[in-house]
Chain A
């Protein structure tokens, strides 16, 4: 235990504390404002009350919008994970000409196109397909937008899964289906879980797509509802908004904790190395 070592240790923990504080401090608002009798846009020690919760639960659409969010985002997350998994496996194991360029091209498109600029085409298309005011339609559009990045990340992940496993399984006479189910899937599961959380989180916060495509108030998800929590002059309803923010964050956190405890939330083996 040299003094230098002790100093380094102290410095090390100071650094860790500083970083943790940096990440934790901005979250104070959501821990204090929902419980405060006069919530504002600042952070102060709350004057404790549960009145805001009562107001939020009484809100005619707040709780139901969570159900809609869940419907839309679960569909999206499952579809993204399933389709991306299939596609990335095939792309990783079977030679398809122009694969890399295609993947990069799609990745680029997806990051630009899903925003404001494409709202007219997407709307008109969904209108022609009769998918306006359909939660399923919303999930479809979001799935299309998230798939390229999901395939991109998953393919690199599958690339890193050693082929020797599949080879030896095949030597022992396993069918393709068995190999996929019993060899590839277990190894890929943490990656799939991570992608699923990623897709869920991304669709959970999406405002523009559901806003443009849904018409009935009772189908709108939480992200759209949050934008309506204002009065006629555009001032924010500070009694409902903080509580709703808190409640609205719970599903993503729960999902993350669930996935984390089962599989570990990380990119095993790495993306391209």
Chain B
């Protein structure tokens, strides 16, 4: 890694950022001009389609067949259907497992561990390790899917060669575990980078005194480091949870199979919309996913507020 621009890091711990102050003399007019292009695009390509999607969610719209010509408004029946749909429950549960296992636990812990142990390693080692972690993050998802299909492959797969378990069909026998490991691999880089910069905000003097008082590694982490990076942990967890909950790449590995065993909500939405052609129903499920995301974020906002 190239040397970071020093001044920023030195001042970064300036927390409790006060009210926004217009220090550069931007003025409301120009501020509006700055915000306008972004919000125009967001309005056109995000909010407008979103509202439209919500509307489709209360119809029985399909792309082909009779309902394509004359869709009718069916009120909330798509929603009541979802609430009684065993496959949707299954998808929700699997998404929860996926987020919990790969984002909240996997990426968070591995990312933090990497950031923590890389603080004092030699630059060469650090650069090598980080390069691999980041490579996993930046490779295109279609390519990554093939990498992991080859990794888990039943016959010539790398995993079976390494473990000497020829013939084990990992993606069939343990689909969710495979996806959790895969997504941990895929997304850890973000947490690692975020925690690396967060750890620089921990004053070295406090770490030093903790050591002098004979605190164990775990105590140091809990009592000295964690209070400083609490906000980072929450922000990071929110972002990676949202990204993971809406991640479509499980489809590329397992297509939701075998027998719906790895069909997370985004995959289910895709299958309902494309295989089944039921756009109304899939829009309704998307909206439910949005609500679920909203609830998670509200919990996060409360936690963030509660910190002293």
Contact = CB atoms under 8 A, between A and B. Distances in A.
Contacts of B269: 115-117
Contact of B129 (A20, A89, A160, A207): A20
Interface in A218-248: 222-223, 226-227, 241-242, 245, 248
A78 interface: no
B83 interface: no
Contacts of A10: none
Contacts of A187: 5, 7-8
Given A104-B297, A111-B246, A163 B21 contact: yes
B140 A252 contact: yes
Give the interface SS of chain A, mostly helix, strand, loop or mixed.
Answer: helix
A56 interface: no
A162 B21 CA distance: 11
Interface in A54-104: 79, 83-84, 86-87, 89-96, 104
A180 B30 CA distance: 13
Contacts of A50: none
Interface in B201-232: 201, 228-229, 231-232
Interface string B15-32: 101011111111110111
A28 B34 CA distance: 45
A108 B197 contact: no
Contacts of A260: 1-2
B162 interface: yes
B8 A161 contact: yes
A36 B246 CA distance: 36
B133 interface: yes
Contact of B242 (A111, A141, A253): A111
A4 to B, nearest CB: 13
Contact of A140 (B45, B49, B61): B45
Interface in A104-134: 104, 106-122, 125
Given A41-B149, A270-B232, A271-B235, A190 B4 contact: yes
Contacts of A114: 46
Nearest to A179: B24
Interface string B227-252: 01101100110010011011010000
Interface in B250-273: 266, 269-270, 273
B274 A273 contact: no
Given A29-B151, A90-B31, A176-B26, A109 B50 contact: yes
Contact of B286 (A117, A148, A265): A117
B47 to A, nearest CB: 7
A111 B294 CA distance: 11
Contact of B23 (A144, A167, A241): A167
Given A94-B26, A162-B11, A122 B1 contact: no
A5 interface: no
Contacts of A190: 4-5
B220 to A, nearest CB: 15
A145 interface: yes
Given A26-B147, A226-B142, A116 B273 contact: yes
Contact of A264 (B3, B42, B45): B3
A19 B279 contact: no
Contacts of A186: 5
B49 A121 contact: yes
A86 B186 CA distance: 30
A179 to B, nearest CB: 4
Contact of B2 (A107, A207, A262): A262
A217 interface: no
B286 to A, nearest CB: 4
A249 interface: yes
A248 B45 contact: no
B158 A25 contact: yes
B268 to A, nearest CB: 10
A253 to B, nearest CB: 7
Given A20-B129, A176-B30, A266 B156 contact: no
B95 interface: no
Interface in A148-165: 148-149, 151-153, 156, 159-163
Contact of A117 (B132, B153, B282): B282
Contacts of A95: 19-20, 22
5 contacts: A108-B293, A143-B45, A151-B38, A201-B140, A270-B201
Given A116-B274, A167-B23, 6 more contacts: A120-B63, A122-B49, A161-B8, A186-B5, A226-B143, A248-B142
Closest 6 pairs between A and B when the two form their complex, measured CB to CB? A42-B156, A144-B45, A117-B286, A269-B12, A90-B34, A121-B52
